[in-house]
Amino acid sequence: MARAYLRIYGRVQGVFFRATMKEVADSLGVKGWVRNMPDGSVEAVVEGPREAVEEVIKWAHRGPPLARVKRVVIVWEPYRGEFNEFYIRYDTEPYEPEEIRREVHELG
């Protein structure tokens, strides 16, 4: 099992990013959350089987059709198994990932 924190930058708000990420996560059986941030980015925490988490991350690099992803920050965290579903959050309460390893992917 794996857990990853994602921060996605680019044109990622107002393009159905959160709703589509929830559909993708639900179809893969992963749990966690996704939300818009005040700076225009999208933030998410994804937990589940490693392969499924990696599929969500792969999807996040392109997003839904109207999105234009420029950068994805991935912070691998210890698996916690704390979620029962994948949901959309509407708060902006700070979240500090418990970092094991960080990756930054710059995209065209």
Measured over the CA atoms of residue 61, residue 17, residue 51 and residue 82, the dihedral's sign is positive
Report the distance separating Cα 58 and Cα 47, nearest Å: 14
Catalytic pick from 3, 7, 18, 35? 18
18 is catalytic: yes
The pair of structure tokens assigned to 83 is 């979620």
The answer to whether the CB of 21 falls within 8 A of the CB of 37 is: no
Catalytic pick from 36, 68, 71, 89? 36
84 is catalytic: no
The answer to whether the CB of 108 falls within 8 A of the CB of 11 is: no
Active site residues: 18, 36
